[in-house]
Amino acid sequence: MGLRKDFLWGGAIAANQVEGAWNIDGKGLSVADVATYKPNVDVKDYRKQVGVTKSDIEKAIQDTDTKYYPKRRGIDFYHRYPEDLELFHEMGFKALRLSIAWTRIFPTGEEFEPNQAGLDYYKAMFNKMHELGIEPIVTLSHYEMPLALASKYNGWENRKVIDLFVRFCKVCFETYKNDVKYWLTFNEIDSVTRHPFTSAGIIPDQTDNLLQAEYQAFHHQFVASALVTKSCHEVIPGSQVGCMLTKLTDYPNSSDPRDVLASFNKNTMNYFPADVQVFGEYPPLVLNYFKKQKIHIDMTASDLEILKENTVDFVTFSYYMSLVSSYDENNLTLTTGNTIVGGKNPHLPVTEWGWTVDPVGLRISLLQLYDRYHKPLMIVENGMGAKDELTADQKIHDDYRIKYFRAHFNEMIKAVDAGVDLLGYTSWAPIDLVSASTSQMSKRYGFIYVDEDDLGNGSLKRYRKDSFTWYQKVIQTNGTSLD
């Protein structure tokens, strides 16, 4: 069978991890702009890496430093995007997933009029993409909510944020209605409970019941996502709106039924945000979990109607790794990955950051998602963070990256052969960028190397890695040549 002829091969980035230019052309501060690079914190200690307090934020607001706030400088994509898009085009990209930074359009989230300079910036970028034949896939919220909304409303905990987000999205739809067909609402929507601040603008010490705040934030995001889906369909006939889930594929640690049950529970909670967005209602098991945990969500009858009437058109997900679960955590050796700690699978290797490498897990994930949702799928993030070395003759021999992608593509193609309707694949990330969790530059994902270190030293010059040529060939042959 093979991949469809119009398969959307490409890469994925997020504004806050590449653009830099954090305080120019009217941009406001976002939650990403206060994320610090913490050289002395273990990169696997994800709670310390992504955790933040009110006083950290106050300090960050006073600080104009970019050295320890790497997302403020990114890789200067803001100014260098034409050159970077040309490189993506050279690889043969059919699509690029990117996000629109809310704070470039509404600096605090509460203005009545959008910032024209921000709108113009993305317009120029979409023009360039169309000139190069690259289809934009736009994420409307990728860990970059206006900081002002986090401080004032505790982010998505407050219902007020729904209207503000819908207003931002509507402006995007009206402005880019001729430029963008594919839209994603919330990046890794399930991540609210893993890193509430980056994901939902919740400052933990601004609430005395964090779990309650997190699930309330989930609910508000679901309603916002549904309203935005509706608005997108109205403004852009023929547009496609997708949800985006971190697929945290979990296996039982053994065939002990208690381990199977523990794993089932993990997967149920991972799926639940996509369930709501695809089926338009909460899964009964999750509602019962809320009851048991005494989580009371403010959920109106009209919210439930909105959810039911405005479900997504397709399902997208990130896939990096799998984990194992047991009824007794003492049976497990723990490892980390994607801001989660879980059981390490003894059959699989892990990266330097502890993320399990599991290509077959990608096939399993595709089959599970298609079987569950019966909707077209798109893999919008997959890749491997690694340290690369720029040799004296300015080459990067990243055979480990090629090996990783080759194994994942093989499994992806097998899933398609099994009948999965897969629209495309965008790697994370086609170019080195600032890590979401650790704010490192040295955790490199790209086919393109960027000369910049963790503290911002470097020329920012771009170099093609060995994987660049390899991916180019994969795209050229629509996945039939993976050697």
- Catalytic residue numbers? 188, 381
Binds ligand BG6 (CB under 6 A): choice among 147, 436, 441, 448: 436
Spatial distance between the Cα atoms of 18 and 41, rounded to a whole number of angstroms? 23
Q: Which is nearer to ligand BG6, 187 or 325 (CB)?
A: 187
Binding test (CB under 6 A) with ligand BG6, winner from 135, 214, 358, 381: 381
Structure tokens at 323: 């984990």
C-alpha closest to that of 44 among 334, 326, 282, 241: 334
**Is residue 274 at the binding interface for ligand BG6, with CB under 6 A as the rule?**
no
Report whether 392 contacts 280 (CB < 8 A): no
Cα 72 to chain centroid distance, Å, stands at: 18
d(CA 282, CA 302): 14
Which alpha helices (DSSP H) does 382-435 contain, by range?
399-417
Report the C-alpha gap between 156 and 185 in whole angstroms: 14
- Work out whether 187 is an interface residue with ligand BG6 (CB under 6 A): yes
CB of 381 to ligand BG6, least distance (A): 6
- The reply to whether 31 sits near ligand BG6 by the rule CB under 6 A is no
Q: How far apart are CA 414 and CA 410, in angstroms?
A: 6
CA–CA gap between residue 324 and residue 248 (Å, rounded): 10
Stretch that binds ligand BG6, among 52-60, 129-137, 430-438, 448-456 (CB under 6 A): 430-438
Which residue among 385, 424, 446, 479 contacts ligand BG6 (CB under 6 A)? 385
Identify which of residues 186 and 409 has a Cβ nearer to ligand BG6 in the complex.
186
Strands (E), 76-221: 95-99, 135-141, 182-186
Q: Give the separation between CA 385 and CA 429, rounded to whole angstroms.
A: 9
Taking the least distance from each CB to ligand BG6, the nearer of 115 and 246 is: 246
Distance of closest approach, residue 247 Cβ to ligand BG6, in angstroms: 11
Q: Select the residue interacting with ligand BG6 from 338, 356, 426, 427 (CB under 6 A).
A: 338
Residue 154 or 318 having the CB closest to ligand BG6: 318
Q: Which residue's CB is nearer to ligand BG6, number 188 or number 259?
A: 188
3 state SS for 84-107: HHHHHHHHCCCEEEEECCHHHHCC
185 counts as binding ligand BG6 under rule CB under 6 A: no
Of positions 188, 250, 303, 432, contacts ligand BG6 by CB under 6 A: 188
428 counts as binding ligand BG6 under rule CB under 6 A: yes
How distant, in Å, are the alpha carbons of 148, 150, 153, 208 from that of 108?
Answer: 5, 10, 12, 25
Cα separation, 58 vs 406, in Å, equals 45
**Whole-angstrom distance, CA of residue 176 vs CA of residue 178:** 5
Distance in Å, CB of 156 to ligand BG6, minimum: 17
When binding is defined by CB under 6 A, the residue of 73, 266, 408, 443 that contacts ligand BG6 is: 443
- Give me the least distance between CB of 253 and ligand BG6, in Å please: 24
Q: Using the rule CB under 6 A, give the single segment among 81-89, 95-103, 364-372, 435-443 that binds ligand BG6.
A: 435-443
User: Which tokens is 442 given?
Assistant: 């040295």
Taking the complex as a whole, how short is the minimal distance between the CB of residue 51 and ligand BG6, in angstroms? 14
**Cβ–Cβ under 8 Å, residues 69 and 52:** no
Report angle CA 65, 68, 69 to the nearest 5 degrees: 75
- Nearest distance from C-beta of residue 97 to ligand BG6, angstroms: 10
Closer Cβ to ligand BG6, 17 or 231, answer by number: 17
Question: Binding to ligand BG6 by residue 435, rule CB under 6 A?
Answer: yes
How many residues interact with ligand BG6 (rule CB under 6 A)? 15
Listed in sequence order, the DSSP H helices in 351-465 are 359-373, 399-417
Length of the chain: 483
**Looking at 110-118, 361-369, 437-445, 474-482, which segment touches ligand BG6 (CB under 6 A)?**
437-445
Residue closer to ligand BG6 by CB (options 186, 282) is: 186
Per-residue binding letters, 244-273, with ligand BG6 (x by CB under 6 A): --x---------------------------
Distance CA 54, CA 323 (A): 32
Least CB distance to ligand BG6 at residue 482 (A) = 23
- Terminal Cα-to-Cα distance of the chain (whole angstroms): 19
450 binds ligand BG6 per the rule CB under 6 A: no
354: how many CB neighbours lie within 10 A of its CB? 17
198 binds ligand BG6 (CB under 6 A): no
Q: Which is nearer to ligand BG6, 275 or 381 (CB)?
A: 381
d(C-alpha 265, C-alpha 271), whole Å: 10
Site for ligand BG6 in 301-320 (CB under 6 A): 318
Q: Is 14 in the site for ligand BG6 (CB under 6 A)?
A: yes
Using the contact rule CB under 6 A, the part of the chain among 151-159, 297-305, 405-413, 429-437 near ligand BG6 is 429-437
| Residues contributing to the site for ligand BG6 (CB under 6 A) | 14, 17, 187-188, 246, 318, 338, 381, 385, 428, 435-438, 443
